[in-house]
């Protein structure tokens, strides 16, 4: 029972770490309010193996979550294909708008670091090859 409780608390802490948002407007508000950078990543969460790896290895890592808590706003523009994972229509439209602006070539995954004026500071096309620690260093 103690192990289960510890696991639940750990997962709650990890999921509460990064400031994840659903829209660019919300990301900009939080970034400007807290002098944070925005990590915008384009993902096919149910069909793109490198996208799934990126989320597991980088976004969900305790090191990333810890760093993101005070330094980043995380925005995932997801494009699932399976009907059961279909996003609400307003979220689909918001993600399509982000793709039109930042990912017109349809690269998956595409990871962008933006300032609070939406200027691209750093870009990864495909799964980053560096370690989580080096990835975090590149976000500073």
Give the pLDDT of the chain (140 residues) as one tens digit per residue.
444 434 434 444 444 457 899 999 999 999 999 899 999 999 999 999 999 999 999 999 999 999 999 999 999 999 999 999 999 999 999 999 999 999 999 999 999 999 999 999 999 999 999 999 999 999 99
Cα atoms in the Cβ-side hemisphere of radius 13 Å centred on 17:
17
The pTM of this model reads 0.86
Angstrom distance (rounded) from CA 47 to CA 39: 21
Range of the domain at 100: 2-139
Q: Specify the length of the chain in residues.
A: 140
CATH of the domain at 51: 3.40.30.10
Specify the number of domains making up the chain. Answer: 1
114: phi then psi, degrees, rounded to nearest 5:
-120, 150
The residue assigned the tokens 């407007």 is: 25
Classify 22 as helix, strand or coil.
coil
């Amino acid at each position: 029972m103690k192990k289960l409780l510890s696991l639940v608390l750990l997962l709650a802490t990890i999921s509460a770490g990064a400031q994840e948002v659903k829209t660019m407007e919300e990301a900009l508000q939080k970034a400007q309010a807290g002098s944070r950078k925005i990590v915008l990543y384009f993902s096919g969460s149910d069909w793109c193996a490198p996208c799934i790896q990126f989320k597991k290895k980088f976004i969900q890592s305790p090191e990333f979550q810890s760093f993101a808590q005070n330094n980043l706003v995380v925005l995932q523009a997801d494009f699932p294909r399976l009907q059961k994972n279909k996003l609400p229509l307003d979220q689909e439209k918001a993600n399509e708008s982000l793709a039109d602006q930042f990912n017109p070539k349809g690269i998956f995954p595409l990871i962008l670091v933006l300032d609070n004026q939406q200027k691209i500071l750093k870009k990864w096309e495909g799964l980053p090859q560096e370690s989580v620690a080096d990835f975090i260093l590149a976000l500073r």
